[in-house]
Amino acid sequence: MYEHEMGIREGGKLAIVAGAGPMGLGALTYALHCDRRPGLVVGADIDQSRLDRAAELFPPAEVKEETGIDLIFVNNGELEDQAAGLRELSGGTGFDDVLCYAPVASVVTLSAAILGRDGCLNFFAEPTDKEFSTPLTSTIFIMDQPMSWAPRAEILQTKLSHLSSPLLVGLIQPLW
Name beta bridge partners: 142. 171
Flag whether pLDDT at 139 surpasses 50: no
Report the C-alpha gap between 162 and 99 in whole angstroms: 25
Residues 6+ apart with CB under 8 A from 155: none
Residue range 73-109, pLDDT digits in tens = 999 999 999 999 999 999 999 999 999 998 888 898 8
Question: Domains in the chain, please, with CATH?
Answer: 13-125 (3.40.50.720), 135-176 (no CATH)
> What distance in Å separates the CA atoms of residue 169 and residue 156, rounded to the nearest whole number?
8
DSSP assignment of 33-79, as one string?
Answer: HSSS--SEEEEEES-HHHHHHHHHHS-HHHHHHHH--EEEEEEGGG-
pLDDT tens, position by position, 155-173:
344 344 444 333 344 443 3
* CA distance readout (Å), 88 to 36, 74, 100: 24, 12, 18
Q: Please report the sign of the dihedral spanned by the C-alpha atoms of residue 130, residue 81, residue 44, residue 86.
A: positive
Length in residues, the chain: 176
Integer CA distances (angstroms), 1 to 4, 9, 121, 140, in order: 10, 19, 22, 20
> Please, how many CA atoms are within 13 Å of residue 99, restricted to the half-sphere of its CB?
24
**Angstrom distance (rounded) from CA 69 to CA 42:** 10
Structure pTM? 0.76
* Model confidence band, residue 4 (pLDDT cutoffs 50, 70, 90): low
Q: Are 43 and 51 in contact (CB under 8 A)?
A: yes
Confidence category of residue 117, pLDDT binned at 50, 70, 90: confident
For residue 150, the model assigns a pLDDT of 37
DSSP state of 114: T
